[in-house]
Amino acid sequence: MLQYQETPLDLVFQALADQTRREMVERLSRGPASVSELAAPFAMSLSAVGQHLKVLEASGLVRSEKHGRVRTCRLEAQTMRRAQQWISLRRAHWEQRLDRLGEYLDADDSNETATGSQP
Amino acid sequence: MTEPSTRTVVHDTFVIDRTFKAPPAKVFRAFSDPAEKWKWFGRPPEGWRPEVQTMDFRIGGREISDGGPVSGPTILYEAVFHDIVPDERIITSYVMWVAPQDASHPLWERYAATGDPRAREQLILDGRRISVSQATVEVLPAEGGTRLILTEQGAYFDGPEAAAGREQGFADMVDALVRSLE
């Protein structure tokens, strides 16, 4: 079975460990929003919202883009999932290949250990 | 609200650390000698096609390794060797593409049979660039053998075809690839 890469998922869990950020993600699950739209339900400064947004962006869950003076945020969960699948695939591929390298080296070793050479 | 660009990139690093009983020079040769590398690297997993591979093992040289599941998409891989320290280290950067053709598609069949670079170009044109990565293979002497550390640092792309409706097709391709390894 495939294992998802730990680091980004850790960041995702960290991001979602906070109630405010969960609510922001919930809001974005209904569609893109500007930072001020995102901040509206919360009794906190825009810069505090910006800090939460930074954590969400670092996790890959949310992406924001500035158009003129408006920063628009959107959810990227699908992207994250797909990229994770591809990364997992790359890793699984390498694990399998290195299994075969081990078999190849072992098979070859039986012919050569007779020389008794050890590193 | 108008959707901003759907292009995204995710960065990731993974490390695989293995120890083998063979001495470092032998492990290094398994990566550097095309005939030796073919014996393990070229053996596809069950359900995958034999790969089309070429390797020019020198700094600036290229390696191609193309294949994929028999009944799934084609995966194309092209690397450049940037750093080679005999018996110690190999660093490559590489690009990967995924193309929709399966093993029985005439274009793949032609490419697999002849290695025709124009067939490969067409597969790349029909496909999608999915990642650009740097891979470091470190070969270190270890107690009773060799420690091999593989580090992959990648930029993984997503999204540019979403508007054209190709996104789902791509997701399906990745799903098929993941299933083929389970």
Stretch 32-61 of chain A: residues touching chain B, C-beta under 8 Å: 32, 60
Residues of A in contact with B146 (CB under 8 A): 119
Stretch 3-22 of chain A: residues touching chain B, C-beta under 8 Å: 5, 7-8
pTM over 0.80: no
Q: What is the least distance, in Å, from the CA of B23 to any CA of chain A? A: 6
**pLDDT over threshold 80, residue B173:** no
- Contact status, residue A93 vs residue B152, Cβ threshold 8 Å: no
Nearest to A105 among B21, B45, B171 (CB): B21
Q: What is the least distance, in Å, from the CA of A75 to any CA of chain B? A: 11
Which segment of B43-52, B73-82, B93-102, B128-137 scores lowest on mean pLDDT? B43-52
B131 touches chain A (CB under 8 A): yes
pLDDT in tens, B114-161: 999 999 999 999 988 888 999 999 999 999 899 999 999 988 876 444
Residue of A nearest to B1 (CA): A32
Mean of per-residue pLDDT scores for chain A: 76
- State whether A101 and B146 contact (CB < 8 Å): no
Confidence of residue A112 (pLDDT cuts 50, 70, 90): very low
- State whether A79 and B131 contact (CB < 8 Å): no
**pLDDT over threshold 70, residue A4:** no
Q: Per-residue DSSP letters for chain B? A: -------EEEEEEEEEEEEESS-HHHHHHHHH-HHHHHHHHT-PPTTBPPPEEEE--STT-EEEEEB-BTTS-EEEEEEEEEEEETTTEEEEEEEEEEES--TTSHHHHHHHHH--HHHHHHHHHHSEEEEEEEEEEEEEEETTEEEEEEEEEEEEEE-TTGGGT-HHHHHHHHHHHHHHH-
Which segment of A2-16, A62-76, B105-119 scores lowest on mean pLDDT? A2-16
B165 touches chain A (CB under 8 A): no
Confidence of residue A90 (pLDDT cuts 50, 70, 90): confident
Nearest to A79 among B27, B148, B158 (CB): B158
pLDDT in tens, B8-57: 677 788 899 999 999 999 999 999 999 999 989 877 777 889 999 999 99
Residues of B in contact with A108 (CB under 8 A): 22, 26
| Interface ipTM | 0.79
Residues of B in contact with A86 (CB under 8 A): 130-131, 156, 174
Q: What is the pLDDT of residue A78?
A: 64
Q: What is the least distance, in Å, from the CA of B149 to any CA of chain A? A: 11
* CA end-to-end span of chain B: 40
Nearest to A101 among B30, B154, B177 (CB): B30
* The token pair that represents A116 in the structure block: 């008794």
Residues of A in contact with B39 (CB under 8 A): 104
Higher pLDDT, B162 or A45: A45
Q: What is the least distance, in Å, from the CA of B85 to any CA of chain A? A: 18
A111 touches chain B (CB under 8 A): no
Give the Cβ contact number of residue B29 at 10 Å. Answer: 18
